[in-house]
């Protein structure tokens, strides 16, 4: 669905949300622009036989510590207490910790939920980090032995492999023999719905 196809009421709703996020980002930027060290930085670390990576939205530099900021534009809003148990955030922290330890630098990991102007610092939980490490090894072993079975899930809307993922083939390309049209040739249904 395109923006032009929305009702006037829906357009106003989304415009208000976008304006709120932009205002919150702008205010944050005004306060922190002098500390910006890097933006859109790709970080890759070697862990066992694997390469793990992520992209950092913004890195701030203080005298003795770096602050990695992840801007969240979804409707999610998590406080620091619950952020500790978020799997995606734990994976990001796992990679960041390896990177900053290798470079002998201190860091903090922050999520800025732009819609709510919620600035939440990640607090490491030893057991959650061990769980993430176990999960990474488990997935790697499944991929290595080709026993990994892909599943459609809520993160498909953010995946960079939509254009080659076999699970989304029918939505992407349709099925001429069955008379099924391509309903999402360029992106996932999650993004279209959003």
| Average of per-residue pLDDT values in the chain | 87
- Residue 194 confidence class, pLDDT cut points 50, 70, 90: very low
DSSP string, 117-138: TEEEE----HHHHHHHHHHHHH
pTM to 2 decimal places: 0.75
| Cα(24)–Cα(36) distance, integer angstroms | 17
Distant-in-sequence, close-in-space partners of 119: CB < 8 Å, separation ≥ 6: 28, 110, 111, 112
Ranking 59-63, 117-121, 147-151, 181-185 by mean pLDDT, the lowest is 147-151
Beta bridge partners of 120: 111
- Higher pLDDT pick, 164 / 64: 64
């Amino acid at each position: 669905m395109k923006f032009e196809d929305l009702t006037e009421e829906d357009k106003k709703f989304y415009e208000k949300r976008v304006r709120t996020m932009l205002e919150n980002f702008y205010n944050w930027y005004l306060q922190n622009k002098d500390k910006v060290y890097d933006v859109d930085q790709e970080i890759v670390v070697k862990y066992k036989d694997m390469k793990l990576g992520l992209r950092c939205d913004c890195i701030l530099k203080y005298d003795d510590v770096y602050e990695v900021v992840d801007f969240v534009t979804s409707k999610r809003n998590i406080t620091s207490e619950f952020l500790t148990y978020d799997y995606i955030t734990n994976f990001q922290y796992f990679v960041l910790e390896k990177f900053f330890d290798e470079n002998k630098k201190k860091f903090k990991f922050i999520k800025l939920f732009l819609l709510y102007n919620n600035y939440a610092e990640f607090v490491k939980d030893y057991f959650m980090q061990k769980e993430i490490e176990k999960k990474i090894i488990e997935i790697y072993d499944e991929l290595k032995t080709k026993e990994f079975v892909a599943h459609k899930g809520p993160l498909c809307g953010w995946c960079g492999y939509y254009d080659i993922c076999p699970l989304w083939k029918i939505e992407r390309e349709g099925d001429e023999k069955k008379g099924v049209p391509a309903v999402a040739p360029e992106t996932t249904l999650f993004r279209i719905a959003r």
